[in-house]
Chains A and B, each alone.
Chain A
């Protein structure tokens, strides 16, 4: 089981969005995808998920070209949790999680009834996400954090070996962000999530990828990527990095623009 990319490029209307990215995702770990707004994180995730076709380069799943694999087979291996999924569909939580079983059903059997194995799989996924007993709730009555968890349960019901999430902590309060990242760090699969909060990424991720203008500029464990130099270059902020007792870095920032000699921040 492996997910690799070689020299990926992708452009929209002639503007390069992804510009020659080669990477290898460590197995069974939580990988954080970092970078400023517009650096190409969402596009890279779509390319890795096979939802976009690279202009050049290849994505390899277990050494096989992703674009050559049948879509259904890909859906049994790679699950995606998109950034914006709010919709007013009238479905129960169980119905939404059962969508994750679509790649496993073939023929008319998939239509006529819910396979008991599928229902069991859905319940396992819900339980894993802390949503046991939520099956009958209606999607439209859930809060943003609850929807995000149901989405992750749906993705886990696909029994993926790779789980890709686009800014899963968006719109969540800090309590729910921590819950969610704990869940992802414990997930029994390889997880790749794009994140904005660098300190949370440092706290929970095993591996970080740092993007800038469609390029991958740094990758490695948090202490290697979250450095003062990278923060200044990629995010244009001055950061003070301290090491916490657990060996993970912690950042404190000041904007470069505010760092005039008179400002108190610059005296630190």
Chain B
């Protein structure tokens, strides 16, 4: 170890009082501002992409007409493409991406596990079990597929809570309970599919495991807006508690944070929110795992800044991934979960590399 000066004689540092942290924070502010600018532009541009060529001007005209502004509206067919098909899908992609990234960041902090993602709590396998149950066991008349998926996720999450124990004194127990419940529900899904197997149920399972935004609707987008918005608001309000968790449960407790209450509140919030997102879009992988890491590399670990940044950049990321998924090999569409990894891994590698050389 290189010896350094004893405490009292350490020389005056470069930072004058009051400037601590300013460099990094102005960077974060800059990045946040850029994200808020890029996000609406991305939405507008993504809507123009597709088989029917549309200009940005036409997109704005359609939106303005629907908002009741005095503009001449588009011909009905083009208007329907913008307003009924593309805009809900693009918005859904942004909302799901932002919501998953926020939930992933929160779960990584709570469990202090860098591999945690929104599906840690058994939610994706619960959703596919619920959906397949609705489809095959003929519950279809009683409940739509998305309701079944949502119910399945919630049941899976409740199993995780029961297994982990009310006190949740150990994050390892939460993670292990999540893994066990995921396996259980996957097995149940397989059992149902094999028992009453047909092509449609197999496709349905694939849909829920890979995720797709093709069935986007305004109703789904509104639900996801509520889910993602509430998750972001509640988690952001708990940002100091999440920061305190960085050094463990006991450190959080000694800083006046109640670890059990914080953990339970945030686990329930992220689980319900993820369940709603998954019900609308299936379990799109990678966004909730990698976006928080990439954003953390750039803006640091403080959740006050990290969570909004995750929301914005998760939204931008999934929006572009989905646009690429439907445009690259048009008219064939690739599952968006495939593209999130294909685009995400190089982006992540670049961020990681840049940061290790910056040190």
Contact = CB atoms under 8 A, between A and B. Distances in A.
Contact of A100 (B9, B246, B255): B255
Given A103-B256, A135-B15, A135-B20, 20 more contacts: A76-B256, A82-B248, A85-B247, A87-B247, A89-B301, A90-B301, A91-B300, A92-B300, A94-B21, A95-B301, A99-B243, A102-B257, A111-B304, A112-B304, A119-B18, A122-B20, A123-B17, A129-B7, A130-B5, A132-B10
Contacts, number: 135
B256 A102 contact: yes
Given A123-B17, A135-B15, A141-B359, A49 B247 contact: no
Question: Which 5 residue pairs spanning A and B have beta carbons closest together?
Answer: A133-B13, A130-B7, A75-B256, A135-B20, A72-B256
Q: Per DSSP, are chain A's interface residues mostly helix, strand or loop, or mixed?
A: helix
25 contacts: A51-B254, A71-B256, A71-B257, A80-B251, A82-B251, A85-B251, A87-B112, A91-B300, A92-B300, A94-B20, A95-B21, A99-B246, A102-B241, A105-B240, A111-B239, A119-B18, A123-B20, A131-B10, A132-B10, A133-B14, A134-B10, A136-B23, A138-B359, A179-B7, A182-B7
Interface string A104-129: 01001011101010011011000001
Contact of B255 (A75, A91, A144): A75
Contacts of A76: 256
B22 to A, nearest CB: 9
A149 interface: yes
Interface in A162-220: 173, 175, 179, 182-183
A74 interface: yes
Contact of B243 (A78, A102, A119, A182): A102
Contacts of A100: 255
Which of A49, A122, A123, A146 is packed against the most chain B CB atoms within 10 Å? Answer: A123
Contacts of A95: 21, 243, 300-302
A79 interface: yes
A90 B1 contact: no
Nearest to B4: A146
A217 B199 CA distance: 75
A120 B256 CA distance: 21
Contacts of A46: 250
Nearest to B253: A51
B7 A51 contact: no
Interface in B291-311: 296-297, 300-302, 304
Which of A80, A99, A116 is packed against the most chain B CB atoms within 10 Å? Answer: A99
A110 B241 CA distance: 10
Interface in B311-329: none
A267 interface: no
A179 B10 CA distance: 12
Contact of B15 (A89, A129, A133): A133
A99 to B, nearest CB: 6
B12 interface: yes
A51 B250 contact: yes
A46 B249 CA distance: 13
B38 to A, nearest CB: 23
Contacts of B8: 130
- What is the interface residue range for chain A against chain B? 35 or more
A132 B13 contact: yes
B17 to A, nearest CB: 6
A133 B12 contact: yes
Contact of B297 (A49, A90, A114, A135): A90
A143 interface: yes
Nearest to A119: B20
Interface in B2-51: 3-15, 17-18, 20-21, 23-24
B237 interface: yes
B236 interface: yes
B200 interface: no
Contacts of A183: 7
B7 A87 contact: no
A92 B27 CA distance: 14
Contacts of A85: 247-248, 251
A145 B1 contact: yes
Contacts of B244: 99, 102
A71 B258 contact: yes
A90 B296 contact: yes
Contacts of B24: 92, 136
Contacts of A108: 237
A139 B103 CA distance: 25
B1 A143 contact: yes
A114 B243 CA distance: 13
Contacts of B237: 108, 111
Nearest to B24: A92
A136 B21 contact: yes
Contacts of A75: 254-256
